[in-house]
Structure 1
């Protein structure tokens, strides 16, 4: 406690950023790391202000927006969604993370339970995994049969075309990570009692089934990347960059009121986020 009091007094005596940096150096603090963290927090807060403007505009204009977050386990989807919604009006957003289907739902058309979750007028819905479970996770893990999988792959472009024609605006993110980064994040979850709940038996098999995930993922891109509903690839080995640039991408996609008064760039870094293109040979 005395050390905290002394530090507060030292901070209160500072008058310039140079003095602040000098103080950090006397405490053997990595100044570059602190500067990067401060820049990240500034950009995140500035982008979240823009998200509030965007949400207000979506409410006023009655638009319907669905944002899908897909990717391998531990790719950072949930953490990114939390940064998206942190300061948004909870009455006009929903986060959808559906559990395994019930017995009744397994007897329904596959898309039926997702249709119930689609956005209403003036609403943004964030899908923490979506109908694309059937494109990758389910066939890899044996949760659907080949006929169900092939039917899904045929129907998905038509399903999304109907949604877009009806006015639903869809953003489809794929968070791309390397096998090494996924393994490191699994180890972090395994060794951190506050994160162990994130690790499921399916996650544990992610590394040994890596190539199977890759094969199904590449076929998903090939058959469901369309002009009206493209896949947006986010390089997510760097969690902070992935969060900032995915927010920037969404902001760049809409001409919302007040966009021109942003205090931070809303143009995404093409080195981190961009449309899938068929000439890309390796994505995670």
Structure 2
């Protein structure tokens, strides 16, 4: 089995992408350390964790593995769309969000795309469309459309998470038991795409099963001059898992990560809702006069 190091340092560690992440982190800390936009330690931890994960899934060897193994790709997508957006949303102070949302153009975007039904259908519709084999193989072999689709789905994931986790008073927010229904609906809507992948009887993506399409897809993360000097025959050079099992594992990993993330959010939402309900029930009792 070949070692990934044959692809070179740039393909493995994406130094330019790392530089952009470091600059983003520095600008964030500069913005939230002084003045009226100060962030709490918790907010800084959440936001910087989101940036670290963003580099891990899009700039580290995990990104390269995502072009070699479908299971790595699905794990990458799960973290990118289900873990990172809520970290970035909750890591940015409310005062900054208020200024961002008040910007002309962005204000209209939030007004439309943060509506719960539109946010749910938008993200899950795009995610499902992306994993249609014809669309997937086209996008994975074209740098422009691959970057465009990744950004569009990430923005859709951001708006999907927004009604659940934001703290901006001027923005509509799902509260109480409605949050539970929202999360459950989100999980259900993602199931068809995962089921299509999981229960297919043969590999359905040429960019992971056809040597020519796979090598073309590698151009997304490996410099052309490096690829030209390599004798590649297919993804099986780098792992021993059969293609169909790798595909099925990818769908399973997506659902497992989804269940862990959504289950954690469900638990937090449920206990918070139960606590507030108990507090409301306790108020009348406290107002009843007590006589000795």
TM-score range, shorter chain: under 0.3
Scaled by the length of structure 2, the TM-score of the pair is: 0.26
Pick the structure with more strand per residue.
1
Scaled by the length of structure 1, the TM-score of the pair is: 0.26
Pick the structure with more helix per residue.
2
